[in-house]
Amino acid sequence: MEKCWIRNVHIVAEDAIIEGSLMIEDGLIVSITQGEDSSSLPAKEADNVTIVDGKGGWLLPGFIDLHVHGGYGADFMDAAHEAYDTITSFHASKGTTTMLATTVTASPEAIEAVIDATASYIEASMPYASLAGVHVEGPFISERWPGAQNPAYITAPRLDWLQRWNREKPGIVKLLTLAPEKEGALPLVSWLAEHGIIAACGHTDALYEEIEAAVDAGLSHAVHTFNAMRGLHHREPGTAGAVLTDDRIYAELIADGHHVHPAAIRLLAASKPGDKLILITDAMSAAGLGDGQYDLGGLTVDVQSGVARLSEGGSLAGSTLTMLDAVRNMMAYTGLNLMQVSRMASANPAARLGLQQLTGSIASGKQADLVLTDQSLLSVQGTWVRGRRVYSG
């Protein structure tokens, strides 16, 4: 694989921001240099070295999105290679380098099709952002908090489904969202934890004590915190109260300013340890496209001014957010700096997936999963996945 020298950038490394350059070779970061040392770095394109002038922009670890349904007109529920190319290409153009293909509440056959399609896609070349597996969102959720999930497919927890899916496609299901108060949920949570699958609460009416019991059983994650869950009350802290106060729980956040009020975002950021907050998009097929009418799991969604809502009932229905927008919004809403927020978009989700030794931060020896933005963080100038440039702005 060719070498690439990215120069004249502000590198958001693990412990500092470094003004200088970075060298990629054979898919890995091989050196990070403060300033420009002409004795050790190429002065011109030679010896199969591509030189990229970052023009003083930001070089960040590639974003890792654990909760994304689609983009640019395609949905992971399409369970088709072409659709997956469309989704991963679009989100790579916004700086995402790793994703979980996220399902909606659907029939077991439709969910199995996504698991099969994702396994096949991972075995192929994956020309854009990489898929790390599947996030199964539902169908074991609360009828009281369906959000934009199709209530026709909500069902009781089925351990046998997960056992079959994991047996037939080992390691593909990485995360499962369920309502832990449902009968049969706790044995499923324990099984998931024992088999290295993240058990998450979401679309849930669970009381505080029910969440705590689930965490004791192995639950360790909350999807789109505050959305589609029992809220905080001073006498019954509910699901939200448990997520805010139990440091064993990683908390996802949709930082688009519509799903969660900026004041609640600040509350979450103040409550959770810095390594337990994860930015997600929850993006649907409308992401990257204009306003109009779209489908989500068989339900009709209207997008107006970039906000997606069910046509019937008006519930928020996923988002049109990108990870770069989430990073920029999070900084604006909280006053946190770029290094702090970058961890929420990259290092923390990498740790969730057990990939922290490979990706999620910029350090010598790690995969060259990188995103180059302009100085204002408004646009992506380049995205690299395992050292290969998959997008040029």
Same domain, 300 and 365: no
Asked if 237 contacts 265 with a C-beta cutoff of 8 angstroms, the reply is: no
Same domain, 46 and 147: no
CATH at 260: 3.20.20.140
CATH at 21: 2.30.40.10
Same domain, 95 and 212: yes
Same domain, 79 and 214: yes
Q: Does the annotation count 282 as an active-site position?
A: yes
Query: Would you state the torsion angle of the CA atoms of residues 219, 225, 231, 236, taken in this order, to the nearest 10 degrees?
Result: 40
CA distance 392 to 51: 13
pTM of the model: 0.96
Same domain, 137 and 194: yes
Same domain, 74 and 24: no
The separation between CA 202 and the C-alpha centre of its own chain, rounded to angstroms, equals: 15
pLDDT, tens only, 28-77: 999 999 987 544 555 555 568 999 999 999 999 999 999 999 999 999 99
277 to 118, 280, 381: CA distances (angstroms): 26, 10, 26
Same domain, 56 and 83: no
pLDDT, tens only, 332-391: 999 999 999 999 999 999 999 999 999 999 999 999 999 999 999 999 999 999 999 999
Same domain, 193 and 165: yes
Cα 275-278-284 angle, rounded to 5 deg: 170
- Give the residue carrying structure tokens 């996945």: 385
What's the structural domain count of the chain?
2
> Which one of 282, 295, 302, 369 is the catalytic residue?
282
Same domain, 384 and 254: no
Same domain, 230 and 303: yes
- Least confident range from 16-20, 213-217, 288-292: namely 288-292
Domain of residue 38 covers 3-60+360-392
141 to 148, 155, 266, 275: CA distances (angstroms): 12, 7, 27, 27
